[in-house]
Amino acid sequence: MTITVTLKDEIAQIVERQIAAGRYPDAQSAVTAALMLLEDAAMRWDDVDSEAVRRIIAESDEEGGEVPLDEVVSRLRAKGLSEP
């Protein structure tokens, strides 16, 4: 499925800055990340196991990298530690 989205100038500039900074390779990736954040905002954070989040972050540190929020959420969901 293809959906075309028109962004206001201010929002388009944010996307362009993120791409220029190397955070995202293209506009589609930046918009997808934003939509994932909206989905994550709907998550019931009160049900999240904070120790599990700490373990995920520690695992990432051991691997030598950062762990983006969407990856934390994905790992939590995979482990059944939170429901969207």
Q: Are residues 83 and 48 in the same domain?
A: yes
Q: Tell me which residue range forms the domain holding 37.
A: 7-42
Asked whether the beta carbons of 29 and 23 are under 8 A apart, the reply is no
Does the residue 72 lie in any domain?
Answer: yes
34/63 same-domain check? no
- Express each pLDDT in 18-74 by its tens digit: 999 999 999 988 888 888 887 777 766 677 777 877 777 787 777 776 667 677 777
pTM score of the predicted model: 0.50
One domain for residues 51 and 72: yes
Domain match, 79 and 60 both = yes
Does the pLDDT at position 78 exceed 80? Answer: no
Using CA atoms, how far apart are residues 14 and 24, in angstroms rounded to an integer?
11
pLDDT at 17: 93
Are the C-beta atoms of 15 and 30 separated by less than 8 Å? yes
The structure tokens listed for 80 are 């059944």
In a domain, 71, yes or no: yes
60: left (phi over 0), alpha (psi -120 to 50) or beta: alpha
Number of domains in the chain: 2
1 occurs within a structural domain? no
Say how far apart CA 74 and CA 14 lie, in whole Å: 25
The average pLDDT across 1-20 equals: 89
